[in-house]
Amino acid sequence: MQARSGLEPNPACSPEPVRRRSPERRRGGAWKVAYADFVTALMALFIVLWIVNGSQKVRLSVAGYFRDPRGYTRKLGAGPAANAGEDVRVEPRKAEDLKKMIEQARQMPDYKKLRDNVKLSVTGGLRIDFLENEQGSFFITGSPSPTSEGEHLLAVLAGEIGKLPNQVVVEGHSDALPYRNAVPARAYSNWELSADRANAARRLLHANNVRPEQVVEVRGFANRRLLFPEAPASPRNRRISLIVKFTGE
């Protein structure tokens, strides 16, 4: 029997082979971080391009937000309690002062019979609605000619608006009752009446210190924007509206 030369290796004492990590495991998540950085940079580029190509108004709005996000949101009226679509943002104090002035005018003895026919609201500017009644508070019924009370009230109001830098929009509205035998193609209708009354009010404003450049729009809406849609024939739908816009609008 042949003798063994040397000792046989003991499998139990053999060193365990070294296990190498696969290339995939060595890379880990580093590529994800680089990709995220790339996407963020790309988004920033798109935002910069949008701002550069935007209007001056957009650029100022973005700059204002980043300077003071919370304060700018409150200034826009865009907090949690804000109403969507409302844009009351510039110098609301002036509009409130003008509203107080109108309220004081309504308390004068000459206006006691008219004060229930003047409606005030502040939404993007001070809106003053002069609502008619059956007898015609501010305009002769069915006519673009103002009454003496309406002419006097518009003159007093114009004297105060003329002191302001604000722009003014004049609107005319009618009820839904048509003119007798009115044919849209050729007869005098609520469209003409509402526009004629708005222009009559504009002329009175200009005659009492409202500057020509202050009036920026004159509109006649006929019965397309009823104040009381549930009662389309109500005379209170017949009205002249003055919108004293906030500066910057």
Condensed to tens digits (0 to 9), the pLDDT of residues 119-149 reads: 888 776 888 899 988 877 899 988 899 998 8
For residue 172, give the nearest of 204, 219, 139, 140 by alpha carbon. Answer: 219
Residue 238 pLDDT > 50 = yes
Average pLDDT, the chain: 75
If you average pLDDT over residues 177-190, what whole number do you get? 80
Return the pLDDT at 66: 64
Confidence (pLDDT) at 171: 96
When pLDDT is averaged across residues 164-186 and rounded to a whole number, the result is 86
Distance CA 128, CA 215 (A): 15
Handedness of CA 182, 186, 191, 194 (dihedral sign): negative
CB distance 248 to 61 below 8 Å: no
Residues in CB range of 151: below 8 A, 6 or more apart: 204
CA distance 5 to 162: 122
Q: Strand pairing of 168-173 and 239-245?
A: antiparallel
- Are 203 and 245 contacting, i.e. CB atoms less than 8 angstroms apart? no
Where are the chain's structural domains? 30-67, 92-245
As a whole number, mean pLDDT of residues 163-170 equals 91
Which amino acid, residue 130?
F
pTM to 2 decimals? 0.59
Query: What topology does CATH give the domain 92-245?
Result: 60s Ribosomal Protein L30; Chain: A; (3.30.1330)
Choice among 33-47, 68-82, 124-138 with the minimum mean pLDDT: 68-82
d(CA 154, CA 147): 11
pLDDT at 39: 74
Distance CA 132, CA 138 (A): 6
Selected residue with higher pLDDT from 26 and 105: 105
> Using CA atoms, how far apart are residues 130 and 139, in angstroms rounded to an integer?
10
